[in-house]
Amino acid sequence: MGIFILRRVGVMILTALCLTFVVFFLTNLYPALEKLAKTQGNQRMSDEAVISYLERHGHLQPLLIKYGQWLGVVPGFVHENPETGAITARCATRGMDPSEAPRFCGLLQGDWGFSTVFKDDVSSIIATRLGLTGKLMFWVLVVMVPSALIIGVLAGMREGSRLDRSLSTFSIASTATPEYVSGVILITLLASSAGWKIFKGTATSAADNATLENFLLPVLTISLYGVGYIARMTRASMTEVMTAQFIRTARLKGVSFRNVVLKHALRNALIAPFTVIMLQFPWLLNGVVIVETLFNYKGFGWVLVAAAGNNDISLLLACSVVAVVVVLVTQLISDIGYVFLNPRIQIS
């Protein structure tokens, strides 16, 4: 088991390095850097001015060295102006004497860079925004997981019944409705002058004070898309268990239907949905970005869109690190959890 986890963690770190390198490469292409120089300096900069700006800030070094500096395994960039002798260093924070700056500064040292859009340290932006998205995700999981499991189990325990068919139709409909569609429909029905105006169409105020009025619609919107998929997986797993030999044996020896479902089938049927729920996280992340944009809830997804739309390189890199880590960690948990939950799997 230990070796299995170690190997998985090793692959995970390798994947994370590859992915962050790809993002680093794509965000550090010359046109993006040129735009950065122009937004930081002035819009009508000449080409030479752009190049000298980029050189002064170390953007023209080889890609691998820049990546190493960003990670914090290569000493930070130091530039000395040949004429004036003025020193600029990547690791010097504002107001610090560049010659006293630390040698390394990167992710490993906890220095995530400075956001050019929000004029703040990236690490503090990410921390507060992730907190807000965490709140959203928590409520999404609270709504989504139990309802999906209940729908799936109810539909799967008697395959082909009326209940099964109604619930399956509902799950198909919910997987066919992406967040930007269900969000629009929910706002129209429950938060516009055309429908009942009982909820709010924006969730901006939910950041400080989440109430049912301003938080229910975004939570419901994300949950709806995920419910259908998890419910279908639970149903498939439940129908499979219900046709198993040991269930028939239990029924034949006279165990009541309720007890068969609750005590014998349920536990075995919930192994597969666990993996599915964990693997849903990348999609939830998608949903979060869409819903936070639609409802103007200023969490992680909103920051990602703002960073990508405004060419904020450090912030975008940090966002992608977080996103990639979330996805990879949930994959790891799902793998390990599957092995723990299912004693039939031997690792070797």
Partner 1 sequence: MEPLTWTGSLSVLDPMFLLAWIAFGIAVVVQIVATFLAAEDIVEHEVSASTRKLAEYAVLGVKIIAGLILLMILAYVVGGILMPSLEAKGIVGAVSTRLLPVWIALLATFAASIAFKRRLGLYGKLFDSMVGMIGFAIVMFWVFTAIFGAMDLIVTHDPLAQVSGMKNKVPGTALPDVEGAFPYYLLGGDNLARDVFSRVVKGAWEVVKVAPFATLFAFMVGITLGLPAAYFGGRLDTILSFVSNLILAFPVILLFYLLVTPEIVQTGIPVYMAAVLFIFPIIFMVILINSRFYVQPVKRSVYLVIALVLGLWIYSGVAWNADPLGLIEFPPNLLVVFVSVVFVNSPTVFRIVRGIALDIKTRDYVAAGQTRGEGPWYIMLWEILPNARGPLIVDFCLRIGYTTILLGTLGFFGLGLSPESPDWGSTINDGRKLLSIFPHPALAPAFSLMSLVLGLNLLADGLREESLRD
**Residue 68 vs 178, nearer CB to partner 1:** 178
Cα distance between residue 302 and residue 299, in whole Å: 5
**233 sits near partner 1 (criterion: CB under 8 A):** no
Closest approach, Cβ 334 to partner 1, in A, equals: 13
**180 sits near partner 1 (criterion: CB under 8 A):** yes
Cα distance between residue 318 and residue 113, in whole Å: 9
Cα distance between residue 20 and residue 247, in whole Å: 48
- Write down how long the chain is: 348
**294 sits near partner 1 (criterion: CB under 8 A):** yes
Using an 8 Å Cβ cutoff, are 229 and 211 in contact? no
DSSP class per residue in 214-240: HHHHHHHHHHHHHHHHHHHHHHHHHHH
- Cβ partners under 8 Å of residue 227, min gap 6: 144, 147, 148, 151, 171, 174
Cα distance between residue 20 and residue 67, in whole Å: 9
**Residue 61 vs 286, nearer CB to partner 1:** 286
Using an 8 Å Cβ cutoff, are 55 and 61 in contact? no
Pairing mode, if any, of strands 78-80 and 87-89? antiparallel
Percent of residues in the chain assigned helix, strand, coil, to nearest 5: 70, 5, 25
**Subset of 316-345 contacting partner 1 (CB under 8 A):** 316, 319-320, 323-324, 327-328, 331
Residue 263 in tokens: 């005590």
Closest approach, Cβ 63 to partner 1, in A, equals: 13
Out of 81, 124, 188, 249, name the contact with partner 1 by CB under 8 A.
188
Instruction: Give the contact letters, 27-66, x = binds to partner 1 (CB under 8 A), - = no.
Output: x-xxxx--x-------------------------------
**311 sits near partner 1 (criterion: CB under 8 A):** yes
**194 sits near partner 1 (criterion: CB under 8 A):** yes
Out of 65, 142, 150, 181, name the contact with partner 1 by CB under 8 A.
181
**Residue 136 vs 294, nearer CB to partner 1:** 294
Residue 280 in tokens: 């849903």
- The stretch near partner 1 (CB under 8 A) out of 56-64, 89-97, 270-278, 281-289 is 281-289
Of 22, 92, 109, 16, give the one whose Cα is nearest residue 63: 22
Out of 58, 72, 102, 282, name the contact with partner 1 by CB under 8 A.
282
**201 sits near partner 1 (criterion: CB under 8 A):** yes
**187 sits near partner 1 (criterion: CB under 8 A):** yes
What is the phi-psi region of residue 28: left when phi exceeds 0, alpha when psi lies from -120 to 50, beta otherwise? alpha
Residue 301 in tokens: 């997804």
Closest approach, Cβ 83 to partner 1, in A, equals: 32
**Residue 107 vs 189, nearer CB to partner 1:** 189
Instruction: Please report, as ranges, the residues that interact with partner 1 according to CB under 8 A.
Output: 11, 15, 18-19, 23, 26-27, 29-32, 35, 158, 161-163, 166, 172-173, 175-178, 180-181, 184-185, 187-188, 191-195, 197, 201, 256-257, 282, 285-286, 289-290, 293-294, 304-305, 308-309, 311, 316, 319-320, 323-324, 327-328, 331
